[in-house]
Structures are given as C-alpha cells and as structure tokens.
Amino acid sequence: MKMDNRWRVVAVYKDACKVWYFGQEKITKVTGSFRNSALCRSDYPAVGDWVYLNNDGLIDRIEARSNQLSRKVAGKRHDEQIIATNIDIMFIVSSLNKEFNINKIGRYIILAETNHITPVILLTKLDLCDDPDNYIKKINFYYPNVETVTVSAIADIGVDAVYNKMVPGVSDVFVGASGVGKSTLINRLLGCELMKTSHIRERDDKGRHTTTHRELFELENGSYVIDTPGIREIGFWINDINLSEFEDIILIGRACKYRNCQHTNEVDCAVKLAVRNGDLAKERYDRYIKASREVLYSKLLQDERERLKFKSKVKQMSKNERFNKKN
C-alpha cells in the first residue's frame, strides 16, 4: 500500500464520504467488498479516519484508529455512531455565562482522558463576561491539571493563543453545547466563514443547533480541526471508560462487606465510610460513581453489539454452507 495514497475523511454523508488529500477534496464511497465485510456501522469510515483509495478512487481500507469518540445509537439495534477518530486534543468549549456547568466539563474530561485525548477547556464570549476569574478559579479547583484558555472570537481576544495550540499534524475536536461559539471560533481560526453560525437569544443563552454535521478542516499551519454540532447529553458519548484513574477507590472498596458492592446503598461500605471520614473527596466519589455507571451501561450495549455481530456471522456461515452444498 503506497503511503501517498492516504486520504483523510473530512465529512460523512448517508452513502458517501468527503475525503481530503493535501488541499484536494473529493466525494467517494467504499468498495463493494468493503461493504460486504463490514459488520456494523463503526466499521465504516468516520470523520478523522485515514483511508486508502483503490485505482477507481474508492475507499478500500481504513487505517487502524488511534482512538475514537462514539455515541450510542438507541433504538432497535444498539450500535455505535462514531463522532470522530484519531484525535489529539479535545477543546471543551463553554461560554462564560449561565450555560457554564462544571459537572458537564468534568464528564468531557473523563471522556477525553479515557480515550487518551488531551482536554483543554475553552471559555468563550469573554467580551460578555465581567468576572472570568471566578470561572477559572472554579475550574482550577476541580481540575487543576487541565489547561484553561479564555477567548472572544467576536472581540478577537485570545484567538492567537488558541491558534498557537494547534500544532501541524495534530487533530483537534471542538465539543460543547449548542450556541457556545464553536463554529464562530473555528471560522476565525480558518480565516474564513466555512461553518455557518447563527444568532442565539442572548437573553436566555439558548442555542439553536446551527451546526448539523461534523466536519474536519485543515488550518493554514497544517493542523486539523473538527467542528461538531452542539450536544445535550454527553453521557451518550462515553464509550470505553476505564476506571484506572480511580484505582485508590477500587482499593478501598476491597474492604467493603460485599464483594460486588456498588458503593451506593449497601451496608458496611468502606468507600462511603471513607467519604464520611473525609479520606475520600465527595466530588471524586461522585465522579467515580458516574463513571462506573457509564462503564456498566456501555458494557451492556457492547454485549448487545457482540451478540448482533455473532448472529450475522452465523447467518453468513449458514449461507455459505447452503451455497457449498448446492455446488
């Protein structure tokens, strides 16, 4: 496989993808044999994938992903919708107003870190805020290890600092609620209006979901940025959370009365005792409980996915068998 045949998926549509190769863009599809061997939705190209095209210009292979952000698709069959892949930095975007929510930011941080993505908190609309320091203090208190940047795309304050974080070859994703100004800032960084933005009712800060699709852009300095539509429920994004960052809690939990203690309502729970004694911060305990629920939930969905994969394999096998018998 020639390296120079490696294209990047910048947008995904119902039956096609837009792929990019050093400033060149085109719309293409996967090959028939790719389609035949794909078992589920996540086997198809997603925004951020590096793909190889065959001589007809069709996608015949996806390079192994270094990571992927996904969302569970509810409905009859549980499957996974990939939001973006091969991400280095997650810009967690929040505006400096009533929309700001420290817990939501915390969940994004968990999501980023469990996928080996560096989180950076990006506080927007600095021009509308009188006391940004209050917000920053709060963040530094809860998440002292996460970098925070303040910016105003409209008043052009701090935009250069954001741009300088975007290193050539590195891929960034912008996430956060609708109306916080993700697309406005990305347009600023790009130096042109590639993403549509829209006015929100500033009185109640409610967004209107302007961006409806995900798209990857290349900045002038050779870094990549992915704009995403605002989402309400980040829980659906949480995929394979691992609980390794809570090792201390897991250790304390070995002293619980019940071996499968969930550390919520059980009697003689060592973890809850540690919280009461002040040995374990309540905030960390809460984060742990949330994260372990997500693990459980995503495991349930994963099992369902495995079951469906297995079922379709069996179906294919018996099809082949019938075919072999006939011939």
Ligand X SMILES: Nc1nc2c(ncn2[C@@H]2O[C@H](COP(=O)(O)OP(=O)(O)OP(=O)(O)O)[C@@H](O)[C@H]2O)c(=O)[nH]1
Shortest distance, position 229 Cβ to ligand X, whole Å: 5
User: Binder to Zn ion among 10, 151, 256, 275 (CB under 5 A)?
Assistant: 256
Q: How far is the CB of 155 from Mg ion (least distance, A)?
A: 19
Q: Which of 177/271 has CB closer to Zn ion?
A: 271
Residue choice 269, 274, 291, 295 for contact with Zn ion (CB under 5 A): 269
Please give the backbone phi and psi of residue 12, each rounded to the nearest 5 degrees, phi first. Answer: -125, 130
Interacting stretch for Zn ion, rule CB under 5 A, among 82-90, 112-120, 157-165, 254-262? Answer: 254-262
Residue with smaller CB distance to Mg ion, 210 or 298: 210
By rule CB under 5 A, what count of residues binds Zn ion? 5
**Contact partners, residue 90, CB within 8 Å, separation at least 6:** 108, 111, 112, 117, 118, 119, 120, 172, 173, 175
Q: Is the Cβ of residue 81 or residue 262 nearer to Zn ion in the bound state?
A: 262
Please state the closest distance from residue 163 (CB atom) to ligand X, in A: 15
Bridge pairing between strands 59-62 and 68-73: unpaired
Residue with token string 């989402």? 231
Residue 275 lies near Zn ion (rule: CB under 5 A): no
Give the residue with the Cβ less far from Zn ion, 122 or 261. Answer: 261
Phi, psi of 121 (to 5 degrees): -90, 125
The DSSP secondary-structure symbol of 257 reads: S
The nearest distance, CB 195 to Mg ion, in angstroms, is 6
Q: Contact region for Zn ion (CB under 5 A) — 132-140, 170-178, 234-242, 256-264? A: 256-264
Residues contacting 296, CB < 8 A, separation 6+ = none
Q: What does the alpha-carbon distance between residue 127 and residue 129 come to, in Å, rounded to a whole number?
A: 6
Distances from the Cα of 290 to the Cα of 58, 87, 104, 186, angstroms:
42, 24, 12, 31
Interface residues with Mg ion (CB under 5 A) are 182-183, 210-211
Residue number with CB closer to Mg ion (148 or 211): 211
Q: Say which residue the tokens 């020639």 belong to.
A: 2
Task: With CA atoms as reference, report the closest residue to 106 among 132, 73, 141, 82.
Answer: 141
> Which of Mg ion, ligand X, Zn ion, none interacts with 124 (beta carbon under 5 to 8 A by kind)?
ligand X
Tell me which stretch binds Zn ion (CB under 5 A): 147-155, 226-234, 253-261, 308-316: 253-261
Q: How many C-beta atoms lie closer than 10 Å to residue 268's C-beta?
A: 11
Nearer to Mg ion, 62 or 153 (CB): 153
Report the 10 Å Cβ neighbour count for 6.
15
β-pairing, 118-124 vs 147-150, is parallel
CB of 182 to Mg ion, least distance (A): 5
Pick from 31, 80, 69, 104: which is nearest to 216 by CA? 69
Q: Given the rule CB under 6 A, which residues bind ligand X?
A: 124-125, 127-128, 152-154, 178-184, 197-200, 207, 209-211, 229-230
Confirm or reject binding of residue 263 to Zn ion (CB under 5 A).
yes
Nearer to Zn ion, 107 or 263 (CB): 263
Residue 204 Cβ, how far from ligand X at the closest point, in Å?
Answer: 13
- Residue from 271, 275, 280, 295 that binds Zn ion (CB under 5 A)? 271
DSSP H or E stretch at residue 112: helix 102-114
Residue number with CB closer to ligand X (229 or 235): 229
Q: Work out how close the CB of 70 gets to ligand X at its nearest, in angstroms, rounded to a whole number.
A: 18
Which of 108, 51, 46 lies closest to 81, judged by CA? 46
Minimum distance from residue 183 beta carbon to ligand X (Å): 3
Contact 110, 287 (CB under 8 A): yes
Contact residues: Zn ion, CB under 5 A = 256, 261, 263, 269, 271
